Amino acid sequence: MSDTALHPEENIRVRIAPSPTGDPHVGTAYIGLINFLYARQRGGKFVLRIEDTDRARFVATSEQMIFDALHWLGLTWDEGPDKGGPFGPYRQSERTAIYSEHAQILLDAGAAYRCFCTAEALEAARRQTPGRYSGTCRNLSVSEVEANLKAARPFTIRLKVPLDGSTTFRDELRGPITFEHNNVDDQVLIKSDGFPTYHLANVVDDHLMQISDVIRAEEWISSTPKHVLLYQAFGWKLPRFWHMPLLRNQDKSKISKRKNPVSLVYYRQAGFLPEAMLNFLGLMGGGMPADINDASEKFTLPEMLRHFDVKAIRPAGPVFDLTKLRWLNGEYIRALAPQAFYAALRSTVLSDAYLSEIASLIQPRIETLAEFGNLTHFFLADDILPSQDLFLPKNRALPDTLAFVAEQLTVLEAVEWTHAAIESALKQLGEAKGWSVKENFMLLRAILTGSTSSPPLIESMLIFGKARTLDRLRRFLDAQKKAPAPKKG
């Protein structure tokens, strides 16, 4: 495929816009890979934009984690917050004046309106019309709007969707898609805190950054008519829309952390090779020809650049098969030269930084260096599955214990990964559920370390990392679901 085979006279520009709200997601890598290939095949530009307008879920360290994860995979971008470019800034939180200016354009054109409804009023209205805004503020008079503004009542700005008719757009994988306007909500464009929602920010940014092709997950299909209405209200040309099929669990449900590790940080820390992860993601959706190394399904990034065809992707959701990924990773590991294998170990599970943290925790607790392995094996093991007599507290039933472990998992998923936050969250959970601190922590210790005697629990969790800690808890719960029921009598 030549650089200009699909769009010979166009300036190809694509983007990804991840949110820094936690660990970078495998879905970001999947969509990022497709955008990267699309741009590189056509001599275009690949843009990284940070969508950080959700301040309630914002995680300060997440942006750098996104950078690190994409660099680990070898997906380099041409413009972004760290590189700059002609259309910056590339953090949406630094572009709020631009969004306010464009929201005012919509207000002046009658394509948007201020909504002064309180959270309580909106909740009451939702019970009457689930999933839709009731339209209370849609037709306020100028004097009513001015009175509300004079009283300093908080407001949002909503898109004024036509009450009848429909919007049709072309999806490059699926063809024309039509939405009746009576099924399209008056979307909030500017929140009461002054920050834009995704819908306004992404349309304004995509236009101003001259994005030619919007390649994103299919979950945004239902939002696309709102985006088309915004483009039309501004009088802007539409980009091409490509909605990629969602990654699926084995049961065809949307990939989720409950059934698969979804954090790229986990895969890096657990010793997956970036080449294997890219290869695996390249298999998703069928963008590679069937005759490319079909015996082993192995191919490199340069091979993907030569042969990947975005139009060949099948809309049916590809299955994120962790068993297959592990097999593929094993193929790559076994193909490494001994020195390269050792270098891979030293860059992850045997890195100086990781071993140094473990050593500082173990040093006060051993009398000979040979004892190091006795206290640290769980840091290096891929899986720990303690027996029931090890993890089950006395006077606790198995179903209640497993339910409590699920609660621990939920709490740890949401907590900031610091000693104080972890300890406080676990203790609060124990108090709420009637578990003593000793029972609570001993149960977690047995699951994570495979022993009731180990270095300090929370310090160990901090070194082991959030992604791998959560994965170990999920694997434990999954193993218990599959375990045979105890015999009666």
Q: Which residues are catalytic?
A: 257
From residue 319, give the alpha-carbon distance in Å to each of 243, 248, 421, 467, 482.
17, 5, 35, 21, 21
What DSSP string runs through 74-130?
T---SBBTTTB-TT---BGGG-HHHHHHHHHHHHHHTSEEEE---HHHHHHHHHHST
Distance CA 115, CA 282 (A): 44
DSSP state of 314: -
Tokens, residue 213: 């092709």
Who contacts 42 (Cβ-Cβ below 8 Å, separation ≥6)? 3, 4, 5, 6, 7, 12
Whether the Cβ atoms of residue 22 and residue 62 lie closer than 8 Å to each other: yes
Strand-pair category, 166-171 with 213-217:
unpaired
Q: Is 74 left (phi over 0), alpha (psi -120 to 50) or beta?
A: left
Distance CA 287, CA 30 (A): 12
Distance CA 251, CA 284 (A): 16
Q: In the Cβ-directed half-sphere of 130, how many Cα atoms lie within 13 Å?
A: 0
Tokens, residue 125: 């209205």
Who contacts 239 (Cβ-Cβ below 8 Å, separation ≥6)? 206, 211, 212, 213, 214
DSSP state of 182: G
89: cis peptide before it, omega within 30°?
yes
From residue 17, give the alpha-carbon distance in Å to each of 67, 202, 217, 247.
12, 8, 12, 18
Reduced to 3 states (helix: H, G, I; strand: E, B; else coil), residue 347 is: helix
Backbone angles phi, psi at 413, to 5 degrees: -60, -35
Q: What is the 3-state secondary structure (H, E, C) of 356-404?
A: HHHHHHHHHHCCCHHHHHHHHHHHHCCCCCCCHHHHCCCCCCHHHHHHH
Distance CA 375, CA 165 (A): 68
123 alpha carbon, distance to own chain's centre: 28
